[in-house]
Each structure stands twice: as C-alpha cells, then as structure tokens.
C-alpha cells in the first residue's frame, strides 16, 4: 500500500512539473535548450553533448636519404586517389610505385599486410625505426596489420596526410606493422 502511494505521488509530481513547463510556453526536447529572452519570446539553442578537439599533426618532413622517386610515387598516388576507399589500397600503391620507377616490376603479393616483406625481400626497401605514421617521411610506405577484412592496409605518406586508393589526413586505425623506405 505504501509503495502504491509513493508511486502515485511521484507520478502526480511529474505530471504537475510537465504541465508547468507547458504553461510557460516551453517545449520538452532532447536536442535543444529552450529559454525565454528579455523581450519575452521563446528562443532555443542546440545542446552539444560531446565536443572533440581536432588533433593537428605537423606536416611530414622530407628525408634527403630516401629515394626521391618515393616522393614522386606519393604524388602519383595522390593524383589517382579517390575521396573514399575502394578497398584496393595495395593495388593503388603498387601501381604508384611502378609508375614512379621505385620498383622494377609489379609486386606479386595479394594482401596489404604482406607488402613490407615483399618490398624488403625483392625491391631493396628498408624497415625504418619508426612506429608513428605521423613521424614517417614523405614517400614512406606504411604497412598496417590485419583489420576486420583480414587483408590489412598499406599507404604512402604525403606532406599533409596519407594516400592509397583514397586520401586522408588521418592514419589508418589498424595496428602499424612497420614503416618502409628505399634509400638512394
């Protein structure tokens, strides 16, 4: 009986509060905050639930020890890249490396996570002691581990971001396997 009395009194209080809000001319909303201006008119403002401070990463540096053809490959890939991924990152990077003359023949591996092994074994690339993709020099090949599709990801570092089959200012969220470059 006490429980029923408690629930009914809470319900009555809620009903009175809701009626008072409607009597004021204010509307209950989840996305906007309503208030009354000094002139008496009702105004509203959007409620911001989360605010993310954008991270600004410095532009990539040119490393004079790295083959200039890698920078050319990055610019070729950037010209050919799309706004959104086509899920063909390793194919686009292979084509850019071949077009720039960094590799002598088209690499044979199918999956992006295998790119580093083939580039070091058959094309003279060196694994750099860098784990942060943002610290990689322009033209470096960044290889990422397996993601949800199991193929991994590979991209080239550009001055203001990364490029493979698409352009991005942000790195891939897959775990980094290694960063590779070819010295001249």
Mean pLDDT of 28-40: 82
The CATH T-level fold of domain 68-181 is endopeptidase fold (from Nostoc punctiforme) (3.90.1720)
pLDDT at residue 22 is higher than 70: no
Cβ neighbours of 111 (radius 10 Å): 14
Is the pTM here over 0.75, yes or no?
A: no
Helix residue ranges, H only, the chain: 2-23, 68-80, 89-100, 115-122
Contact 170, 161 (CB under 8 A): yes
Encode pLDDT of 123-159 as tens digits: 999 999 999 999 999 999 999 998 777 899 999 999 9
Side-by-side strand order, sheet with 141-144: 126-128, 176-181, 141-144, 153-157, 162-163, 167-168
Q: Torsion angle, CA of 108/111/113/115, rounded to 10 degrees?
A: 20
Helix residue ranges, H only, 38-176: 68-80, 89-100, 115-122
Contact 36, 43 (CB under 8 A): yes
pLDDT at residue 15 is higher than 60: no
Mean pLDDT of 86-110: 95
pLDDT at 20: 47
pLDDT at residue 46 is higher than 80: yes
Q: Per-residue confidence at 64, pLDDT binned at 50, 70, 90?
A: very high
Contact 137, 68 (CB under 8 A): no
pLDDT at 2: 67
pLDDT at residue 77 is higher than 80: yes
Q: Per-residue confidence at 18, pLDDT binned at 50, 70, 90?
A: low
Task: Please report, for residues 25, 30, 50, 165, the alpha-carbon distance to residue 107 in angstroms, rounded to integers and kept in the order given.
Answer: 69, 54, 45, 16
Q: Per-residue confidence at 13, pLDDT binned at 50, 70, 90?
A: low
pLDDT at residue 29 is higher than 60: no
pLDDT at 143: 96
Q: How long, in residues, is the chain? A: 184
| 73 backbone dihedrals φ, ψ, rounded to 5° | -65, -40
pLDDT at 12: 56
Domains of the chain by residue range:
2-46, 68-181
| 31 backbone dihedrals φ, ψ, rounded to 5° | -105, -10
Mean pLDDT of 94-106: 95
The two structure tokens encoding residue 59: 């532009």
């Amino acid at each position: 009986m006490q429980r029923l009395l408690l629930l009914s009194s809470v319900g009555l209080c809620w009903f009175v509060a809701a009626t008072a809000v409607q009597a004021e001319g204010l509307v209950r909303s989840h996305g906007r905050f309503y208030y009354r201006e000094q002139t008496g008119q009702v105004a509203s403002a959007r409620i911001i639930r989360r605010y993310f401070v954008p991270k600004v990463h410095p532009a990539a540096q040119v490393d004079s020890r790295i083959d200039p053809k890698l920078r050319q490959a990055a610019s070729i890939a950037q010209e050919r890249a799309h706004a959104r991924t086509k899920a063909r990152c390793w194919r686009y990077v292979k084509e850019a490396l071949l077009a720039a003359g960094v590799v002598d023949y088209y690499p044979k591996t199918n999956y992006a996570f295998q790119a580093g092994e083939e580039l070091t074994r058959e094309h003279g690339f060196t694994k750099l002691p860098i784990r942060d993709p943002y610290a990689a020099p322009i033209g470096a090949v960044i290889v990422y581990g397996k993601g949800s599709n199991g193929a991994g990801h590979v991209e080239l570092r550009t001055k203001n971001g990364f490029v493979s089959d698409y352009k991005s200012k942000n790195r891939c969220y897959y775990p980094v396997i290694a960063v590779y470059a070819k010295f001249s």
